[in-house]
Structure formats: structure tokens, C-alpha cells
Structure 1
């Protein structure tokens, strides 16, 4: 069997950059299905803003019938809902692309999961009213700074089409795992958008604006866009829904094991639908077997855990691979959809193991 982690040793975040702070979850050492805030991955474009909830107000303006300024107390008094869901950075696994791409070289830990509590965005928009002709809802964060491609100062802002903004599970969250959202994850208010990559879940909300056109901010039309061609911008697509994906958590890549029976464990997730099957290959993809899904009853927005018992009875080197299939019959591809900025990597996961 694989060696257990010594009880006195605790995992920590894996640093990718310090300014701005970008750190990934040690996903290979996560056993539960909720992530402690201290181990939740951190993705930033700029420095952290300094905010307090005592003097916090949320403006909603633009193409609305009655512009409003909501106090925190007003927001807390609106009926809330709690949603358990995956938040995955669209650059998760970027470091695995071949040919290599520029950007934070995330491995497999730019993904975390937990319980978010807040009020539906639609409840706030119903209180302001939406004018006829409204097309998108722009959410602006308090984080700001200069981009590498411009001397201009920008805040991090993203838009949602009206139907996604009005989805009953798109919420303005104020708690994570039954505690106020930590500063580094969006305190005091964070947008939570199920099914989409986490760039849509804007942190440290400064204001919400309803517009009658397509938002043209740089984090909408320059970043978080699939550029499938190296030399031009033909056939670009916006980054939205999370791709079907899986990750092997144990054993570790390049781990040396003894002959015997070993459990291969991991997680799998998707944007739309649910995971219905996870397959494992221990011979580099020549043959595949079904893994056991250990928590199929989970909700629509969560990852599932899976396990596979492997009789490793012969010494040698092995390539272990996994692929997940969701309820829309989407399966992880053998090769990822290469794109210039390195978004949405979801090729079959693989590790190499040596049996001695």
C-alpha cells in the first residue's frame, strides 16, 4: 500500500509567485471534499485591497430602474442560500501544455472546493429593476493595478450575460465554510458563478453595473480568451464553462512503490452536468478499467472522488492515466486544446510510477 503521510507533517500552499501572490493547493495531499481557507489556492492579478465590512456599501447602477446602495446589513437580511462547488482557475494545469505557453506555470492545484453562502445576485437585481435592453452585468473588484501590456491602471472587472447573472445559483457570497470570507479570498463580498472557471467569480466586489452592450474590459476581451493560433487572433473563443477533467492525487508522480496492491485515488469534475464515469489505465492507455466513484450522490457543482485498486505484482515502470466522462458524454481528450494563453487544460491525467 502507499505510505501514509506522517501525522505531524502538514501540507502547505505551493508558491508560484509572491507579487502578486499566486499559490496553489497541494491537491495530492487533500483527503476531504472541502478545502481549508489556508489551503485554498490564491490567484491574483494585483495586490490585495484593504477593506472592512463596517463601512462597506455595494452600489448597483447602470441600466436599472432604481439605482441602489446596499449596506452589508441589508444584504445579510435578504434570504440566503449555501452552495458547495468547485472553483478552478482557468489556468489550472497550464504548466502541462506542450508546446509550453507563457503565464503562471500552474500544475494541478489551482482548484479548490467548499461551501459558499450568500444572496442570489438576481435578488439584488430584482430590487433595483432591470431596464429593457439590458444585456450584461459587470462586476468590478476593488483590486487594481497596471497590466504588463499597458501603463493604464485597471481594476479587475468581468461581465456576465444576463441569463447567467440571473441564474438562481449565481450568488453574492459573504461566507466560506460557515465563516466570513477571508480577505485573501474576497472579503467582504465575492461573486460566485457555478459551472464557470473562477475568473468569473470576482473578489472584493466594488460595484455592480448593468449595461446594454458587450463589456470591453481587458480581462474580458484580451485575457480569458482562447487563442488557438500562435500567430494571429482568428477563431478566438471566450473562456466560460469548466471542462470535464480529472486528477490523480495518489500515488505521486515518480513515486517508487513495492510490489503488491495499491490504491490509485483522485478527483474528477465538470462544468455542466455531473461525472458519470472515471476510467484508469495502468499500461499507458493500452487498456482501461472503471474506477469506483465513492460519492456519486454529490451536487451538480462538486468534484467527485474516485478510487481504483491496482495489483502491481511485477517490477518495472508504469504510466498511470485517468479520464473522466460527464453526463453530456464529454470525455477528457488524449491531447489538450492548445491555446496561446494556456486556458482550460483537460487532457487525460498521467503519472509515472516505479515498482521495485
Structure 2
């Protein structure tokens, strides 16, 4: 680690994540002293969100994003918030491996580590909560690939399952069954260079609601894949079909399959290409339209903004944005006419895939994976 990086980490640990953006220059989302918020007509004027509560879902107010690294990061908990005493913590590697392994937190932290910027959203994020199930952070941890290589995956290994300490009781075919939250990846996906077993978030130890002491980070995937309170990694030869892989977080959509119209179910996995406008501000006669884009890590070609029935106009992307981080953007709207306007964004990747209007996407029954264009209505005052 370079001297510069060591000094940076000391600053972050001493001052906390709240000052993280200040170490990287002027925050792209920051508002100037005389900059004011413009009212969204599709959002209650008194819209507010409660603070984080153990065992509950926490939605952020996207109008209040001010930093590249989230001061407020969404939370979803499926079986409550377990208490995992660090002095008793063990991460077990089991199943079709040559050498079953066990690690304490100190042993994980003694291994070579890596930092990566990654943002993600919940698979159920969408317009009904103004895109508030989202966040972006700098994560530190050890390579999942290296840990799996230490254990040695046997030839029969096909699936890697990640179990959390959070447990709940499910009724399955009339019987009460205790289940742990778990998700899985194919061995190929699990061996990606970018997957981390993480213990730090924005330069600080994970907070309890974000998975302390250890969680998974699978960059480019929806949040459900990033298992919190990680206690076991298990390699098996069959597909894992627990609740959150086979029955919940399953998108049901209408598609053409080999010339036949069918309803298809797919497990929520890699993030779809998406952008959203979350704030409009005014400074003198300039209105700044701000938002963010997310995807699976495929490089972005452009983010554009359209006002009413006008042309698509290219927005500026935050230069801090990296492969797996969110991509904050803004567009300076000059000489806006008073009255009601509709604004919308779209993102295009280097493969030419474009974020489409919702009505042009396949019909869905579930609310998972909402990634169509997100029009906003604003009122410009004279």
C-alpha cells in the first residue's frame, strides 16, 4: 500500500465516512450556498424518510444525496438484524472443496485486501419510493476467488452458496421450517476477480445493519446478492433453490421464446441498465437536473436528459465514477420557462443498449427489476 493510501485511510478512520467525499475533491452532488431545490410535482412536498431501525427497511431520500460515497445507504433486512459477536465469529468454507477452511475476522483482515467502489440498488427499487433503495460506497475486503482457491473447488462443484446469520421461520407445505438467508452464484460467477468478502465500508468497520462483521460484495449485481452477516460459503453440485433464489426475488415477465409468447421466471441477479433523475435545483437562471445511473459494470457511453418533447441532450457524468460505482450526472438547463415540465433521463452503454421507456419493456407481474425510464414532473416558478 502506498504512503498516500495509508494516509488517506488514517484520515477516513479518524474522521468517519461523512468526510469521505472531501478527500476526493468537490462533491459532484453538492449544492452551492445560494442553490435552492425545485419542487417535484410527483413527490409530496413534506416527503421524508425515518432513520435506520434494526430489522426494518430503510429508504433514503434521493433528493438529499450530497456525496459520491453515500452518507445514507439503503437497508433491507429479511429476517431481522442478528447480533454476531465478533469474538465468536467464524466464516466456514464447506462442501465440495479439497480443504474445508475456517476464518476469524482477524484472520480475514490479515490477508491481502483490496478496495473497490461499488454502488447497487435493491431488486425492488423503483419509482414508488423515488428510487430510494440505493447507495454507493467504497468497500474493503479480501478476494473471494483467492479464498475459494485456498479451499480448492472440486471438479463436481457447480454452485457456491452464501449463508447469512439472519434466520427466520418459513411455512413450507404446511410445515414450519427454519431458514437462513442465502443466495448463490455459479462457480464461474463466483470466481470473478471483483467479488470481495468485505469488512469495511467507507473506511470504517461495517455497521450492524450493513452486515457486521462480514458480508459479501458482488459488484454489478442487485443488492440481494450481497449477503450480509456472512457465516458460511458452501460449494455444491446442484442449483441452490432457497426462498430468495427460487421463490422470492424472482421476476415474472412476458417474453418471446423461440417464437412462442411465454411467461418466464428469472432470479434477480445482475443489475439492468438504469438511470434516474432525483433532484432539480435552481441557481440564478440555471436549473441543474441531477441523477445517477447504475448497471452491471459494462462501460457507459452516455447519459442524456430530455425536457418535455425536446431532443435528448447529453449530461455530464461525475469524473469519480468507475466501473461498478453509481454514475452521478447533471445537466444544466438554462432559461427554463415558468410552468410545469416533464423531464426524463436515459443511459446508453458501449454495446448500444439503451434504457427504454417502461411501456416498451416486457410486461411484468412482479415489481422486481424496474429499470425503465423514470419521468419526473417539476414546477418552474417565474
What TM-score do the two structures reach when normalised by structure 1?
Answer: 0.86
Distance 1:215 1:13, change over 3 A: farther
Distance 1:112 1:12, change over 3 A: farther
For the residue of structure 2 that corresponds to 1:319, the secondary structure is strand
Structure 1 or 2: more helix by fraction = 2
Distance 1:211 1:353, change over 3 A: same
1:180-259 superposed matches below 5 A: 180-228=205-253, 234-251=263-280
Aligned residues: 332
Q: 2:355 aligns with which of 327, 332, 347?
A: 332
Question: How far 1:238 moved relative to its partner?
Answer: 2.2
C-alpha distance in 1, partners of 2:172/2:59?
25
C-alpha distance in 2, partners of 1:108/1:148?
31
1:108-187 superposed matches below 5 A: 108-147=131-170, 151-187=176-212
Q: Which moved more, 1:320-329 or 1:18-27?
A: 18-27
For the residue of structure 2 that corresponds to 1:219, the secondary structure is helix
Question: How far 1:342 moved relative to its partner?
Answer: 0.9
Distance 1:240 1:355, change over 3 A: same
| Counterpart for residue 320 of structure 1 | 343
Residue-by-residue CA offset, 1:7-51 (whole Å, 9 max, x unaligned) = xxxx99824996840011222211211012xx1111011111011
The gaps in structure 2 that reach 5 residues or longer are 1-33, 39-45, 255-261
1:267-286 superposed matches below 5 A: 267-283=292-308, 285-286=309-310
Q: CA RMSD in A?
A: 2.7
C-alpha distance in 2, partners of 1:337/1:271?
19
Residue-by-residue CA offset, 1:92-132 (whole Å, 9 max, x unaligned) = 1063xxxxxxxxxx431111001111111111111211111
8 A Cα contact 2:120 2:326, kept in partner: no
8 A Cα contact 2:292 2:329, kept in partner: yes
Report whether the alignment pairs 1:54 with 2:87: yes
Distance 1:16 1:136, change over 3 A: farther
C-alpha distance in 1, partners of 2:304/2:172?
42
Distance 1:63 1:13, change over 3 A: farther
| Counterpart for residue 3 of structure 1 | 36
Q: Which moved more, 1:325-334 or 1:113-122?
A: 325-334
8 A Cα contact 1:88 1:112, kept in partner: yes
C-alpha distance in 2, partners of 1:32/1:18?
22
Question: How far 1:328 moved relative to its partner?
Answer: 2.2
What TM-score do the two structures reach when normalised by structure 2?
Answer: 0.80
Residue-by-residue CA offset, 1:229-258 (whole Å, 9 max, x unaligned) = 5xxx94212221111111212228xxxx79
Report whether the alignment pairs 1:343 with 2:376: no
Question: How far 1:349 moved relative to its partner?
Answer: 2.0
Distance 1:353 1:69, change over 3 A: same
C-alpha distance in 2, partners of 1:202/1:191?
5
Q: Which moved more, 1:314-323 or 1:14-23?
A: 14-23
| Counterpart for residue 294 of structure 1 | 318
